Amino acid sequence: MSSDLWSFSLDLYARPGVEQACLTLQKAGASVCLLLCGLWLAQRGVACNERRLLQLQQLADTWDMEVIQPLRALRTQWKDRAQQDTELDNLREEIKKLELEAERQLLKRLEAATTDWPGGRPVDAEQWLQGWVASTDPSHGDALHLLRVAVSDPAV
């Protein structure tokens, strides 16, 4: 997989089932950017701990709340009407591009915040994933399992 977080995220997201797993967890309130960052950090051999989880959560929360969520809400709000209105659909697609760019910017910020964190030793992604998703819903477990498999098996 790729060395920078954005490329890693694009590569992983393109794997079978990963997009749906991420959307399932997003609907449950998880940040897909934080999930992808945790998987990337695990792949780099960066150990998970409470201080790191909190630091990344704080960094992501403000950007997510002030930038990503308003764009997503507007895009979602326009979904039904845009099906009958071509101009609105075009605007909705532009909002979608802005939302993706906002997520890319967040991933860049998360990567920058972790550049000095030592790595190199094998790390199980489980701690990172559980740090972002604390739920007992079986569908969340299935989504998390799919992410663990996708990141650990290059053939998936």
* 23-59 confidence digits (pLDDT tens): 999 988 889 999 999 999 999 999 999 999 999 999 9
Q: b/e string for 86-99 if b means 16 or more Cβ within 10 A?
A: eeeeeebeebeeeb
pLDDT in tens, the chain (156 residues): 458 999 999 999 999 999 999 999 998 888 999 999 999 999 999 999 999 999 999 999 999 999 999 999 999 999 999 999 999 999 999 999 999 999 999 999 999 999 999 988 878 888 898 888 865 566 678 888 889 888 886 554
Q: Choose among 46, 41, 44, 36: nearest CA to 11.
A: 36
Q: CA-to-CA distance for 105 and 89, rounded, in angstroms?
A: 24
Provide the pLDDT for residue 120.
Answer: 82
